[in-house]
Structure 1
């Protein structure tokens, strides 16, 4: 990893990470957040839902049990990554797009005005996978950011064409992008781009394995080594549309 990459992550400062479901934070930003915490930066993670609708055919009781399990799993993953501050919005999994955005946007502004982040990490409008909850979270952050007192820089998760091609077998074979595809950028177009190696990679994988209800099936299918390589990059870019100027 180059000095330029180190400088880029260091410049993020106090960071608010806003995601839709448990495991989003680790898949898309686990190494970045862990590195920030190791440097003594404040990191606060916000998760919109508890991921209870992963099985659309589940009963209410099964959904409640899954929400409790995923809550515990995220707590374990956060401990591995060193994330000590976390906020649940407790919104309905799979139903974010149906909500009145006003109260949620106001809550995000409230959280940010307490944290005063320099940077927000979140989804772009593509939602990485096109999941409606992901896309909605992106829209909420875009609406909230201009109202935040610290005027944070918002960065969107993005992938590179090379990693999409390298892992086509997983991406297509396991229907990762059923609803849509991520924004693609070259490494030079990314504000932050981590090629995660060694202990840093093992730490991220350990945090993902702590969320076994969501990760164990794929790990078993492709093997731990291939899975670790698949999750070994994180990239963030400035929004394509910077949004309203306030």
Structure 2
């Protein structure tokens, strides 16, 4: 009898606390439920802030382990790093990539998830910077002569950028536009993977709600979603889209997200 293939392990790399839940909460919960190792690295906010505590609660819901923080400040919120850490967008690129490489080599994920090049609908500068850092770190992690002090080399088999297609934005577009935000959806052809995460929508919503300070505010997406009727909210969060990006060759069969 053929044994079932284990779900591939995941590492999500996100700019802010709540990005993991909003953009890939369903996939993270799905893979964790299938027995896969899952983890999340968050580029901004520091361990001594309320957002880090909320992140820990959200990751507990998703089965994604404890927070892993790169320790940079949010581009738009100095309170994100009370100790005066540099903003992510101002951090030396080589330093930021090295910090992420260390997490990739320690965790050895099959798949890395991250932001897309547009900065996720609203074009947040932290999202775009996190995308750039992730692209570089995923390749560098497999090269022994780069960041030799960051652990033994490890090459993930796949990198997926969370994204939103023009035809798939649906109710999310008008919702963001209602508070003056832009909607930078990508052409449909850019999306390679669309996943129905409705079986994990309840867990995803619980994780989003763990970001209590964002739910309480009127303009952030968690707060906007919290004020919708439940059927509309569930429709929005029940689909996740990704683009598989090209990587250097890795041994073994290519890994795919559970669909």
- Same fold by TM (over 0.5)? yes
Output the CA distance in 1 between the equivalents of 2:170 and 2:34: 33
Q: Please point out which of 143, 147, 151 is paired with 2:140.
A: 147
Q: In the alignment, which residue of structure 2 is the partner of 1:101?
A: 93
Q: In the alignment, which residue of structure 1 is the partner of 2:186?
A: 183
Give the alignment's TM-score, normalised by structure 1. Answer: 0.78
Output the CA distance in 1 between the equivalents of 2:56 and 2:71: 15
Output the CA distance in 1 between the equivalents of 2:70 and 2:17: 12
1:23 and 2:13 equivalent? no
Q: In the alignment, which residue of structure 1 is the partner of 2:149?
A: none
Output the CA distance in 2 between the equivalents of 1:72 and 1:218: 21
Q: In the alignment, which residue of structure 1 is the partner of 2:38?
A: 43
1:124 and 2:129 equivalent? no
Output the CA distance in 2 between the equivalents of 1:144 and 1:208: 27
Bigger mean CA deviation after superposition, 37-46 or 146-155: 146-155
Output the CA distance in 2 between the equivalents of 1:169 and 1:203: 25
Q: Is the 8 A contact 2:62 2:207 kept in 1?
A: yes
Residue 113 of structure 1: how far off its partner (Å): 1.0
Residue 74 of structure 1: how far off its partner (Å): 1.1
1:214 and 2:214 equivalent? yes
The answer for unaligned runs of 5 or more in structure 2 is: 76-86, 143-153, 217-222, 251-259
- Secondary structure of 1:117's partner? coil
Q: In the alignment, which residue of structure 2 is the partner of 1:61?
A: none
Residue 243 of structure 1: how far off its partner (Å): 7.2
1:230 and 2:236 equivalent? yes
1:160 and 2:165 equivalent? yes
Label 1:209 to 1:111 Cα distance change in 2 as closer, same or farther (>3 A).
same
- Secondary structure of 1:89's partner? strand
Output the CA distance in 1 between the equivalents of 2:194 and 2:170: 17
Q: In the alignment, which residue of structure 2 is the partner of 1:135?
A: 128
Output the CA distance in 2 between the equivalents of 1:72 and 1:138: 24
Residue 141 of structure 1: how far off its partner (Å): 1.0
CA RMSD of aligned residues (A): 2.6
Label 1:36 to 1:165 Cα distance change in 2 as closer, same or farther (>3 A).
closer
Residue 175 of structure 1: how far off its partner (Å): 3.3
Cα deviation digits, residues 122-181 of structure 1 (max 9, x gap): 01211112111110011011111211133222111122323324443213113343xx61
Residue 244 of structure 1: how far off its partner (Å): 7.8
Moved segments of 4+, more than 4 Å: 243-246
Cα deviation digits, residues 170-206 of structure 1 (max 9, x gap): 13113343xx6133435xx6443222324x1111111
Higher helix share: 1
1:71 and 2:52 equivalent? yes
Label 1:69 to 1:171 Cα distance change in 2 as closer, same or farther (>3 A).
same
Q: In the alignment, which residue of structure 1 is the partner of 2:198?
A: 197
1:13 and 2:8 equivalent? yes
